[in-house]
Amino acid sequence: GEDVEQSLFLSVREGDSSVINCTYTDSSSTYLYWYKQEPGAGLQLLTYIFSNMDMKQDQRLTVLLNKKDKHLSLRIADTQTGDSAIYFCAESRLGGSQGNLIFGKGTKLSVKP
């Protein structure tokens, strides 16, 4: 298909790890992004990964990229209630030449105390 796909909901307990998955479509995408949207706010960039990397770690966040399967994941370690939000995966379908990002529909993460 042509869409960036994500599961719509994920529920975890505080302190557990969260893994949010995404499949994208364009094998030539140069950058892949994770954005976070808190209630009533705009999308905030969390992290991104260049397509020649397999993994990127930034504090509690780990991004894994499987180019063969066009699969991207975001792992949040020690999930906190403040991590409750909608997480969007996005691919740079035009290779960054014009800046057009294709977003998934977002995964709503609920963290239970």
Subset of 11-70 contacting other proteins (CB under 8 A): 31, 33, 35, 41-45, 48
CB of 60 to other proteins, least distance (A): 20
Other Cβ atoms within 10 Å of 17 Cβ, number: 12
One of 27, 52, 59, 98 touching other proteins (CB under 8 A): 98
> How many angstroms separate the CA atoms of 102 and 32, rounded?
10
The label of the residue with tokens 């960039």 reads 45
Residue 92 binds to other proteins (criterion: CB under 8 A)? yes
Please name which of 9, 5, 4 lies closest in space to residue 86, comparing C-alpha atoms: 9
The label of the residue with tokens 């014009």 reads 98
* Number of chain positions touching other proteins (CB under 8 A): 21
Residues binding other proteins (CB under 8 A): 31, 33, 35, 41-45, 48, 88, 92, 96-101, 103-106
